[in-house]
Amino acid sequence: MRILVSGASVAGPVLAYWLRRYGFTPTVVERAPTLRKTGGHAVDLFKPAVEIVERMGAWPRILEHRTGTDLITMAGDRIKRPIDVETSRLTKVMSDRHVEIMRDDLSEILYDTVKGEVEYLFDDSITGLRDDGDGVDVTFERTPGRRFDLVIGADGLHSNVRRLTFGEESRHTAYIGSYLGVISLPNHLNLDGRMMVYSGVGRMAGVYGARRLGEARAIFMFRSAAELDYHHRDIPRQKELLIRHFADLPWDQAPRLIKEIDRATTFYFDSITQVRMDTWSQGRITLAGDAGYSPGPAVGGGTSLAAVGAYVLAGQLAAAGGDHRRAFPAYEAEMAEFVRHSRAFGLRTAKTIIPDTGTRAWALAQSVRLINTLPGGLVRFALKLSRSGSGPHNDFPIRDYTPANPVRP
């Protein structure tokens, strides 16, 4: 069975590996001309995703490439003296196992697990999908048209496959009231294994060393009740908006970070938006990762969710012998609770890390202090009582879907 996967970041290569392993013939189409090497941003793999990459044989290299952010120093509007907190104390609240890695390093390591065994079409994009019930006719920007048995959109928050199949993006996304910016900058503070954060009312900024890139990343998040007016390709306007929201941040690191916004070579700016769809599948086409159920960038553990979703989708296809009419509903049912939890978690995280009042900013500082002093088990217990525990990011069971009779390629 020939399966086209659009997107080669996290969900895409995990799908490619497991589909191939189960005897399908995946092809991956990626819009970028090559694997991206700019580093992107730091992302998290929690326990279920760690188990998946272990099964793919990728864990030792992922460990080698981890960012190693061990310590966070937090200053803020309601913090008299900066608080140092070990990152592991924060991540243990979420999950027993965790690694942080730059997204581009992760993509490359995942890609290497199938390199030479799976066809990759770089520098290309799907322009048309026609599902006639027996297969999908696909047209591309560059590659001549082809027919596939199934098509999977793993092409992120602004998914092309989702737009072509389900219609305009705005019908399937929900703005959750905040914006996110990330820039690259020289590691002028020589941060190694450390992140410095300033938490203000309605905004937060942070800077961390991206060890393997020899530079640093600054992250900015702010609240905005209304969506801002800018074009997604108008970088100067996006930089201007970011500068405007942080120009008067009362943090000694802020002037340098703000100066770097203008000259940043790597720049990301977007609203924090969730993808909310009742179903991610239509006929022979389905979605995986951010494309189908992004819980919002940087707030909901989207990377682990993408890896797990891709693994479950490939597994359900194998279990159903390639019958998408059984596999797609089973995939959606198996992921439903994880997706719901991640959405709720994303909303809560955005509210917590960008507090909207002085009282909430104070409460955030107190929580960080508490996490720093209480034994990990007690913190987890307290979170469980307040119903904001880690849930599937720790507990999602990673099943073995290896079929007794693998599908013939």
Binding site for ligand FAD (CB under 6 A): 6-12, 29-32, 41-44, 103, 125, 154-157, 160, 180, 182, 268, 289-291, 294, 297-298, 301-304, 306
Q: Which of 267, 273, 346 is nearest to 304 (CA)?
A: 346
Minimum distance from residue 260 beta carbon to ligand FAD (Å): 16
The CA distance from 200 to 275, in Å, is 27
Q: Which amino acid is at 162?
A: R
Between 321 and 395, whose beta carbon lies closer to ligand FAD?
A: 395
**The CA-based dihedral angle spanning residues 219, 67, 107, 403, taken in that order and rounded to the nearest 10 degrees:** -120
Q: In angstroms, what is the minimal distance from the CB of 42 to ligand FAD?
A: 6
333 conformational bin, left if phi > 0, alpha if psi -120 to 50, beta if neither = alpha
DSSP 66: B
Contact 185, 217 (CB under 8 A): yes
95 or 187: CB nearest ligand FAD: 95
**Nearest approach, Cβ of residue 80 and ligand FAD (Å):** 28
The Cα 256–Cα 253 span in angstroms is: 6
Specify the amino acid at residue 314: A
CB nearer to ligand FAD: give 29 or 364. Answer: 29
| Least distance CB 400 / ligand FAD (angstroms) | 23
- Whose Cβ is closer to ligand FAD: residue 78's or residue 119's? 119
Q: Indicate the residue among 127 and 279 with the shorter CB distance to ligand FAD.
A: 127
Integer Cα distance of 27 and 306 in angstroms: 18
Integer Cα distance of 263 and 185 in angstroms: 8
171, 259 contact by CB (below 8 A): no
Nearer to ligand FAD, 122 or 362 (CB): 122
- Smallest gap from Cβ 26 to ligand FAD, in A, equals 14
Which residues make beta-bridge pairs with 189? none
Tokens of 43: 């992302």
**DSSP label of 278:** S
Here the tokens at position 401 are 């879907």
Task: Rank residues 307 and 330 by Cβ distance to ligand FAD and give the closer one.
Answer: 307
Smallest gap from residue 175 Cβ to ligand FAD (A): 15
Closest distance to ligand FAD from the beta carbon of 245 (Å): 16
